[in-house]
Structure 1
């Protein structure tokens, strides 16, 4: 079997595409690839319109099964190809787009899903949303990005201890530390004074020392779903008088000033506090990302919804309990055994790519006071209940193994693709026609 794969962002464009629309699909493709290589030959293409059908026709000539996995949301998935095409996509809203807005028929995802005949996503929540629109028997499978194996191996070295000594990271990028910044430089324009940050200075490598009870969140600050404002303000209030509580925000974006400016202003607004806030802007190499995981006691998420949330999955696979809401994709792997759960309520919102901003779906608002309670309770466990922390760490690893290990992904993909080719054979046609 030949498996053709494509993401609009690739290894050559990831640096300039960080934080842009759909950039995270590249990371999903990277995690899928080792599993796909167990199932067949894998070829990554950069131009599907030119390359996919040529490869497919070669397979057809020698009787080899072939499928194209487009790591993209349905409205960016090609449906004109002869090759069987499956979108591999994340989604975190209660309904899928079912209107052809903005003069684009593919914005009605039902059009694409019918043309493809099947799809792959990452959570049972998304499977439910798709089947509510497409019918209960629509062929779709939840296969999260299989990150568990890589991070569990790293976590095995940490032994689930509630505290560690200081961890030193080398970061080639920008680090903003609340204890070293002149926060008055980030107030309202007419009140600003002091030295700010020169965002145009040459990038240099610097060391960052982390200790105490470290909470970490990795996100794109330009993504309106992440709700980092509640995460930050609740931390500053909860730990206003706690010196050894640190919140690390690892920011994924293509522009430093755009990524940091608003957060720096919020650091100013939430004064005064004795806890520490550290902002990291830059693309961390794997060893440094792993050291950040090592330094972390808890991974944090306060988003309105997640299609799967790779950082949360990675940190938990490494044995880091979470502070997060149990909504959307997180329903599949969060519990009171591995996380301090944040309460939330649903509210009307728009699909993110709908320029009309028409209310057609739901997102999930976190309860701010509940975030504070989760912070306080998690801190107490980290400081004073090492046995419970170790149990939660073990449960995090175990839960994520059942959710996003390579073994689980291989089993689900193998069965799903076998059923896909069987349906095509029994239908007497070699490809679904768009």
Structure 2
């Protein structure tokens, strides 16, 4: 038997696929391939053409062959009548049973009827498929074999993770709440504590548009959410963050307007200590400022705004400045230095009680902002508590602006929130697991949640709801269970946005309560914390041990007559 394992993402492009729909399926494939190798030869393929070539060669040599797609049914290339099946992660209570946009493959029943069966990653999905496809359809729930890869023996004398010390090198960026000074009037960034990978400036124009149709507003600090015309600020010194250090002679052109007492007042732009002034108009106006001999800098600050409120009822947006767009041009010519150093890794140093969550900020199911709000609400006065947000998306703009605005709303707190944006090598990811006290999940639905399983396999208890796929391994013994209730939802790839399924609304008050309970447990009840560590491992072992996965896969392969 030969298994053609199809995945769009591979080892070469995985770093550049962060946040893409196929990204998580690569890790499912990576964990499954060794199990499939127990039953025959495996060949990894990435296209319909590779499938056809390998299938023809195998059958010509008398070798039975099957295609295993690590992707949802509507994404799998149509190879009928070749034998094929999908390995599926799905989190809703219905599967797509309608077609749209003239594509009958959007109706998963059409694809599944042409496949010999289906492997899904949870008992929840298995029952959803059976409800639609019938009790006779060959569908098996086989989780990713996590246990054997991530199982770790708990340290005998340091089970309580209250004083962990994490030192990590990140190939990317680190957003640290302690790098900001936050008051009602200020949202300042301390450039001396920045942990960003800054690229050299090529000298090409840098162009930004700050309306709601663009993501450039993500790089602003002290501004509010973008609107149709642009964005606005009522802070004293709002700023723009650049991912490259500009220097030399430059021209900055921007379109802005003044509000309230700032109208008619001369304010200034500060770039690396070089300051140029301009007078704000009440109308949208194009400004052009020339800067000479600017030292390398990646922050542009607006300085001198007047926040004096009018003496009558007013819209808060009428207080300072509105910003629509900005362009940076190089005027240094041959005199500009182009060999600025670029930091390829940034260092992270954290100690205390560490909570971690791994998520794609473009995935609305993850509710990561609720996690940040609840964490800061509970630990506002606790400098020993840290929340690490491991971001799995290739673009920094996917969450930087939302996190900045969230920190601005929350205000000054003593706890620490750290967003890690970038790829972690296996050894760095394991170091993160080893030094995490609790894993946090506030998702509205999960098809598996592979990071949660990986952390639990290493003895890290969870704060998580007990629904969808998580119901297979989350319980009161292993975790601090967050309450949730059903609500209408959409199929995430359906552009019609029709309510055809349900997901779960996480109870924020319960999330707060479980943060409080978890901290109390870790700091005052060693034996209870240890029991949860051990129960986490036991649950994952029962669910994902390779011996179990192999046995269930063998049964499935016999059902579909491949063995």
- How high is the TM-score relative to the length of structure 2? 0.72
Equivalent position to 2:243, from 191, 196, 199? 199
Query: For structure 1, which segment, 165-174 or 217-226, has the greater mean C-alpha deviation from structure 2 after superposition?
Result: 165-174
* Cα drift, residue 14 of structure 1: 1.5
| 8 Å contact kept, 2:122–2:142 | yes
The Cα shift of 1:155 comes to 5.5
SS in 1 for 2:366: coil
| Matches of 1:112 and 1:234, distance apart in 2 | 42
Greater gyration radius: 2
Matches within 5 A, 1:25-424: 25-47=25-47, 49-153=48-152, 160-183=159-182, 184-185=187-188, 186-187=221-222, 188=224, 189-192=232-235, 193=237, 197-200=241-244, 202-421=342-561
Query: How far apart are the structure 2 equivalents of 1:57 and 1:181?
Result: 60
Structure 2 equivalent of residue 22 of structure 1 = 22
Q: What is the distance in 1 between the residues matched to 2:113 and 2:65?
A: 19
Distance, in Å, in 2 between the alignment partners of 1:256 and 1:204 is 16
* Structure with more strand by fraction: 2
Distance 1:159 1:117, change over 3 A: farther
* Superposition deviation, residue 158 in structure 1: 8.6
More divergent stretch after superposition (358-367 vs 137-146):
137-146
- Residue 225 of structure 1 aligns to a residue whose secondary structure is helix
CA deviation string 1:349-369 (max 9, x = no partner): 110011100010001010000
Query: Deviating runs (4+, > 6 A) in structure 1?
Result: 156-159
1:203 CA displacement: 4.6
Higher alpha-carbon deviation: 336-345 or 267-276: 267-276
Any idea what the Cα deviations from partners look like across 1:138-180, whole Å, max 9, x if unmatched?
1111111112212113757896333344221122211111112
Count how many residue pairs are aligned between Structure 1 and Structure 2: 422
Q: Secondary structure at the match of 1:74?
A: coil
Query: Structure 1 residues 317 and 213, CA, compared in 2 at 3 Å: closer, same or farther?
Result: same
Conservation of the 8 A alpha-carbon contact between 1:210 and 1:295: no
- 1:200-233 Cα distance to aligned partner (Å, 9 max, x none): 4645322212211110000111111111111111
RMSD of Structure 2 on Structure 1 (CA): 1.8
Q: Distance in 1 between matches of 2:366 and 2:116?
A: 32
Give the Cα separation in 2 of the matches to 1:158 and 1:168. Answer: 21
Q: Is 2:161–2:435's contact at 8 Å kept on the other side of the alignment? A: no
Tell me, which stretches of 5 or more residues in structure 2 are unaligned? 189-220, 225-231, 246-341
State the alpha-carbon separation in 2 of the partners of residues 58 and 155 from structure 1.
48
The structure whose residues are more often helix, as a share, is 1
**Using the alignment, how far apart are the partners of 2:557 and 2:156 within structure 1?**
36
Q: Report the TM-score, using the length of structure 1 for normalisation.
A: 0.93
Structure 1 window deviating more from structure 2 (299-308 vs 255-264): it is: 255-264
